[in-house]
Structure 1
Amino acid sequence: MKTIVHKADSRGFANHGWLQANHSFSFANYFNQEKMQFGALRVLNDDIIAPKMGFGTHPHNNMEIITIPLSGSLKHRDSMHNEWQTIEAGEVQIMSAGKGLQHSEINGSDKAYLSLFQIWVIPNKTDVVPRYGQKYYNADDRKNKLQTLVTSIDENHEGSLKIHQDAIISRIDLDKDKSFDYKLKSNSHGVYVMNIHGTVTVETNELQTRDAIGVSQTDNFKISANEDSELLLIEVPMI
């Protein structure tokens, strides 16, 4: 088993006033040669966006983009849609940029801050027709069990959003003293585990809130909750 631990305070940080951004991997003005990606996982940004503020229209291509609001409301508009799409906490949004599109994202509230994760996954197909999707996931369905959010478009997995990569994105909320054995899809895959909140032990590594660990070269690993905890798991090919 190979592991790499990324402590919360080791992430890149940018304070733009309206945006407080933590970067698990090199992004924008943050560059760390040791943190370029984890397999096909290229970006994991942990953002807090001020009321009514956001990202103006900008382009993307050949990237799978997944957004998970943790609290607040996100408004999204892209070149596939003329109208604004609203994504609430509890929902997940996917966007396959493919051969190219433009989009903008803003905090949909004029009072509350917006907290979200934005994930970029390198696709296994390029120049595809852009596509969009969003779906609500009930938190009760991940209580001490894995809830699958996103899978490959090539797989017949009901209930998940689809991207162009052999990846699995999931969440689990573990009660204190509960544990979970995660089984990887293959030994060519790795899993990046972000501890959203709480304290857990992954094998022998203790993770506090917003600490993360990448696990690869194994068939399975164990997660144990030292207190009530919420986790995000991103399984990707180790390209």
Structure 2
Amino acid sequence: MHQQVDVRPSASRNRAGSAWLESKRSFSFGAHYDPGNTHHGVLVVHNEDVVQPGTGFDTHPHRDMEIVTWVLEGSLVHEDSAGHAGVIYPGLAQRMSAGSGIRHSEKNDSARPVRFVQAWVLPDTPGIEPGYEQRDIGDELQHGRLVPVASGRPGHSAAIRIAQRDAALHVARLTPGESVLLPDAPFVHLFVARGGVELESTGSLTSGDAARVTGVGGQRVTASGATEILVWEMHATPAA
């Protein structure tokens, strides 16, 4: 496998929006399609969205996708056709398995904007029963280490499970000078949600920047300020 660290600056992301939504997309999404930018490993969507108060995504369908939502600021209300409902806030891990088909809405019913990252990974098996899971892990994020948030890896402990045995999401909140090692996996996606880092052998990344690491793992990431990072480790890529 070719070894590569591909840095994607925040400004390189496709942007879309309206009066109520600002969306920054790391991969092809919706009407924006770039055949050279469709995925990294099994990660096929990585959107950073800001939704204004009293607005949101009306009920819409999904199928055969593991959808993980991580709120950075504010709160987001989830409701779906399988009867699941919940409020997602910073430190709460949430996963929806679309499986054979599900409809859901995501609304901001608070008085301030909500900012969140939503990531989609391909499932192991199509047509599974739709599902939902959430868990507060805020306390676990106070120790300056990578915390497993969502995983389908065999024997891998994480806050919530996803139906993809080759992927896991980790989050770290770091103070200036604290560092963590990236997972040693064939495909790693590092996203700086806030603050800034120095990535070993690569250089500085700041809020909104990402690095797609292929064929080489274990690099050290050191925070240059109060920082939050999201890290996907993946051991497969979509079949051709």
TM-score by length of 1: 0.91
**How many angstroms does 1:87 deviate by?**
1.6
- 2: distance between equivalents of 1:199 and 1:217? 24
- Say yes or no: does 1:113 pair with 2:113: yes
Unpaired runs of at least 5, structure 2? none
Give deviations 1:49-73, integer Å, cap 9, x for gaps: 0111111111111000011111111
Q: Contact 1:75/1:84 (CA < 8 Å) preserved in 2?
A: yes
Q: Contact 2:43/2:120 (CA < 8 Å) preserved in 1?
A: yes
2:6 corresponds in structure 1 to 4
SS at match of 1:141: helix
- Greater alpha carbon shift after TM alignment, 200-209 vs 28-37: 28-37
Cα distance 1:88–1:174, how it changes in 2: closer, same or farther (>3 A)? closer
2:187 corresponds in structure 1 to 190
Give deviations 1:8-57, integer Å, cap 9, x for gaps: 00001012111000001111122223321111000010000011111111
- Say yes or no: does 1:200 pair with 2:202: no
The root-mean-square deviation of aligned C-alpha atoms, in Å, is 1.7
- 1: distance between equivalents of 2:42 and 2:123? 8
Instruction: For 2:198, give the aligned amino acid.
Output: T
Give deviations 1:77-98, integer Å, cap 9, x for gaps: 11110x6422222212101111
- Say yes or no: does 1:234 pair with 2:235: no
2:86 corresponds in structure 1 to 85
Cα distance 1:232–1:18, how it changes in 2: closer, same or farther (>3 A)? same
Residues 49-68 of structure 1 mapped to structure 2, 5 A cutoff:
49-68=51-70
Q: Contact 1:62/1:97 (CA < 8 Å) preserved in 2?
A: yes
1:20 corresponds in structure 2 to 22
Cα distance 1:15–1:40, how it changes in 2: closer, same or farther (>3 A)? same
Q: Contact 1:148/1:169 (CA < 8 Å) preserved in 2?
A: yes
SS at match of 1:9: helix
**How many angstroms does 1:163 deviate by?**
0.6
2:141 corresponds in structure 1 to 141
State how many pairs are aligned: 233
Q: Contact 1:13/1:30 (CA < 8 Å) preserved in 2?
A: no
Give deviations 1:133-181, integer Å, cap 9, x for gaps: 01111255353211110110x6344452001112110111222222222
Instruction: For 1:106, give the aligned amino acid.
Output: K
SS at match of 1:183: coil
TM-score by length of 2: 0.91
**How many angstroms does 1:218 deviate by?**
1.7
**How many angstroms does 1:238 deviate by?**
3.8
Cα distance 1:53–1:231, how it changes in 2: closer, same or farther (>3 A)? same
1:126 corresponds in structure 2 to 126
- 2: distance between equivalents of 1:96 and 1:147? 21
SS at match of 2:134: strand
